[in-house]
Chains A and B, each alone.
Chain A
Amino acid sequence: MTSPTAASDREAYRATLLELARSDSRIWCLDSDTGGLEKTFQDELPHQYVDVGIAEANLMSVGAALASTGILPFVNTMAAFASARALEQVKVDIAYHALPVRIVGTHSGFSAAHLGPTHHAQQDIAAMRTLPNMTVLTPADAAETVRMVKAAAYLPGPVYLRIGRNATDPVYENETDFVIGRANELRAGRDVTIIAAGSYPCLFALEAANRLAEQGIDAAVLNMHTIKPLDMPALIKAAGTTKGIVTVEDHSVLGGLGGAVAEAVSVHRPTRVLRVGLADAFCAKPGTHREQLVAGGVSPEHVVSAARAIVHSG
């Protein structure tokens, strides 16, 4: 299903981390036996690498303590474990202390597709964005991952980077500006605004926009790579200049990007928001990442239906 130019967020992240760490000895890699970092990072920079083993709670607390001494640790685990098993350590030791720990959760959403609900992270955005001080980021493709990791490295407080596992098609054809907290417009449009976060969601949003164009509906597409803090000017513009908003995410329909957007526009510029996200259920069958998203309620067709409902309702 992917093109020859497909690339993995995870590999892009790892390469960028190593590049940053080579030029700044404060940047450390904390591992929890995720597999591969012992080769890609430890072999070259052992002094900036620590593996705590399969122990995610300890991972977060050790990361917090290192950060309190001026080190800039990137802690590595899966999104499912960062946001559930170790959430208390993230809350108390990292977020409460506002420490510059970069929590990198791979296998986000349904990207650990075949492994099933134990390794799915359909609640991580909801958990992380309700922690004070936390910045929540999710890239659209491998190239944006590089820009995002560089931008996040020197942010003062804690950051949650939600990345996928598998190679996905590029969303961006060219190098683009990346600013934390500022959404990127992938496509301009007058009728409805589709706001997406993550790789498949952005690809689905663009595909849906093309189909909508064939039906005479002009959809704008925004990549809301920063889920916290949300880009309020972009949201207010979307709410004010188009007939409504469709959100798309590889996350539960509860509490994620759609929840954040709905909360924000209901206060600042009430408008209709339809949320395309994963149904409030654990997935029942094995499958590819894309197959499971479709089964869970996230696909270009779902986006098209939601956009049409908005345009035709008013």
Chain B
Amino acid sequence: MTVHAEAPTGLFELERRALAVRESILAIGAGPIGTHVGGSLSAADILVALYFDVLRIRPEEPRWDGRDHFILSKGHASAALYSTLAERGFFPREELDTYGTASGRLMAHPTLSVPGIEFATGSLGHGLSLGVGLALAAKRGLRDNRVFVVLGDGELQEGSNWEAAMSAAHLGVDNLVAIVDRNRLQISGSTEDRMGLEPLTDKWRAFGWNASVVDGHDFAELVPALRDAPGGGRPAVLIADTVKGRGVRHLEHRKQGHYAKLSPAAYERALAALRAAA
């Protein structure tokens, strides 16, 4: 029942786009202010699956009325979002070089002035509530816009998410899909050591959501799961198992990669590791 703006994208094409997005993330990490490298790399495949297959969007008309809405609630991963938007044609790739500099508009947390960004995020625990509002507006307006929100796993420690989760189920917004980037790390260490989230799937189910676990780096699993998530009378959440730093072997599963300003040598090493693994 899902209607797609384009024919399904081949897995090879998605892998190719994901590699390009990860290269851009590393380049941003090597820029003047660095970036949240680890959480951007973990979210990259989710964003590519959404922007190159699932979302009904028009890059040349970002505010098209019929669009699906996307909110990156974990706004720290702006490098992944900007890279994906540029790759998808919302703005030129060259603009990524201006990330965090006064000569450009690419604030280190997503901001409204960037084409394709609907809500400025970065303060954690806002995106799901915004998603509830957008989904409710579409439902009551009898429009078929869908809403996808990417949440960090550490972000779920913010209580506002659970106000949002409760209201989404109560209001029956089954056009809302949350994707948890479950990379299991936050800045100080393991989510389970810092403030445990498990049993995470049970929590969402107890709040009235359809919840399932997917591999957040396997497009063959991720794309169908995202396509099938909307509908069914309840909001849906995909717990996407991911790896912080995914794609750069020496950054994977490491909290040290949470935020990085890569030196030229570190950038070359990371890029080589990324391309070797691709």
Contact = CB atoms under 8 A, between A and B. Distances in A.
B is bound to A? yes
Interface of A: 47, 50, 52-53, 55, 57-58, 60-66, 68-69, 71, 88-89, 92-93, 96-97
> What size tier do the contact residues of chain B reach?
20 to 34
A190 B16 CA distance: 77
A65 B131 contact: yes
Candidate in B120, B130, B141, B160 with the most chain A CB atoms within 10 angstroms: B130
Given A68-B119, A92-B123, A61 B137 contact: no
A65 B159 CA distance: 19
A65 B133 contact: yes
A92 B111 CA distance: 11
A66 B171 CA distance: 14
A62 B126 contact: no
A66 to B, nearest CB: 5
A50 B137 CA distance: 11
B97 interface: no
A97 B117 CA distance: 12
Across the A-B interface, the 9 shortest Cβ-Cβ residue pairs: A65-B133, A61-B129, A58-B163, A62-B133, A55-B163, A69-B137, A65-B130, A57-B160, A65-B134
A28 to B, nearest CB: 9
Given A64-B133, A65-B130, A66-B133, A96 B120 contact: yes
B198 to A, nearest CB: 24
5 contacts: A58-B163, A62-B130, A65-B137, A71-B137, A92-B120
Contacts of A52: 163, 167
B123 A62 contact: no
Contacts of A65: 119, 129-134, 136-137
Contact of A61 (B118, B130, B138, B141): B130
Contact of A64 (B130, B164, B166, B171): B130
Interface SS of chain A: helix, strand, loop or mixed? helix
A63 B136 CA distance: 11
Given A53-B166, A57-B160, 11 more contacts: A50-B171, A53-B167, A57-B125, A58-B129, A61-B126, A61-B130, A64-B119, A65-B132, A68-B118, A69-B134, A69-B141
Candidate in A55, A63, A64, A65 with the most chain B CB atoms within 10 angstroms: A65
A57 B162 CA distance: 11
Contacts of A93: 119, 126, 129-130
B56 to A, nearest CB: 16
Given A58-B129, A61-B130, A66 B160 contact: no
Nearest to B164: A58
Nearest to B130: A65
Contacts of B137: 65-66, 69, 71
Contacts of B120: 92, 96-97
